[in-house]
Amino acid sequence: MDSAPKTVNPSIASRVEKAQRNAYLSTRGIVLSIPFQMDLLFPNIVAERDDLRHIPNDYARSSLFTARNKTQPRKTLMHEKLFHYNEFVSLLYTGIELRAESDEIVWLQILNYGQSVPFGEPFQFSVKDLVKDVNWSRNGRNYDRARECISRLKANEVLALNTKAYGTSGSISLIQNYTTVNDSDGKPTQYRVWIDPNLIVLFAGNTFTSHRWKIYRDLSPVARRLTDYIESHKHPYPLSLEKFRQMCGSIDSSVTSWRQTVKRACAEVQQAKIAAMVTLNKTDQIYCLRE
């Protein structure tokens, strides 16, 4: 008689996963029993530069930050699988849709404020400095826009699974927590922010992309997503028009319209000298030659 299939005790599975995770990090010189800050993960040539902002490759190559028209309402997602360029990476997202035109650059700038602070420990910044550093006009509308971004970045959950790494990363909010100092109208002017220590996993082993900030932040949303793809690969493979549409989370159903949008983004990226050549060919493949 066949024996019943064995079940794995959840506590044992959890310990195995933790051991895999610690082993993955230890091979990269990271010991979780001591505080570890993001800039210590950077090569010296990167750590010494203040003109760069950094994003995990697993986020850069996904549809976590969409490039949809501003007039389209943001979706609210519940444990929804996002598109990722690599089939071995899965991202499950819960929260309000995040967009490249605002949320992505705000998050990268917030990470920059905290990069010399150990993961899990708080750091502070002002709304005025944040708006200035993402190069938005300093006015009440954009201060509110920045506050809304911070709220969305807190009110989400990203569950990443990379079968070529250590396993599941655990649920991560892009901002783990924050407190504020408010003005007389009750609007936050100063933020004290905590970043989830688990985010270290997505940066370990040089698995992140560094963008030249003053160029990157001023790109259009579609050009910024194309830059995420290009700069997260040393030698970018040809990218199909449809795959890039999914990476942008675009709901443009017209191939002709999307093709024109991508051609403009290619020209913008090339003009910004992010790559020596970026073009969409007749077979709807985006080709790129990095400098």
Question: For residues 280 and 263, is the Cβ–Cβ distance under 8 A?
Answer: yes
Per-domain residue ranges for the chain? 21-213, 219-291
Q: What is the pTM of this model?
A: 0.86
Could you give the angle at the alpha carbon of 232 between the alpha carbons of 223 and 150, nearest 5°?
65
- Residue identified by tokens 């995990």 is 56
Question: For residues 100 and 249, is the Cβ–Cβ distance under 8 A?
Answer: no
Fold of the domain spanning 219-291:
Arc Repressor Mutant, subunit A (1.10.10)
What's at 21, amino acid-wise? R
Q: Tell me what pLDDT residue 5 has.
A: 44
Could you give the angle at the alpha carbon of 130 between the alpha carbons of 172 and 59, nearest 5°?
30
Q: Tell me what pLDDT residue 24 has.
A: 55
Strands 188-194 and 239-240: unpaired
Q: How far is CA 261 from CA 29, 46, 129, 266, 277, in A?
A: 43, 32, 32, 9, 17
- Residue identified by tokens 């007749």 is 282
Query: Average pLDDT by consecutive 10-residue portion of the chain (291 residues)?
Result: 47 51 52 62 69 93 94 94 90 96 97 91 97 97 98 94 58 94 94 91 82 96 97 93 96 93 97 95 94 71
Report the distance separating Cα 59 and Cα 55, nearest Å. 7
Report the distance separating Cα 126 and Cα 287, nearest Å. 41
| Residues constituting the chain | 291
Question: For residues 122 and 183, is the Cβ–Cβ distance under 8 A?
Answer: no
Report the distance separating Cα 135 and Cα 131, nearest Å. 6
H/E run at residue 262 = helix 255-271
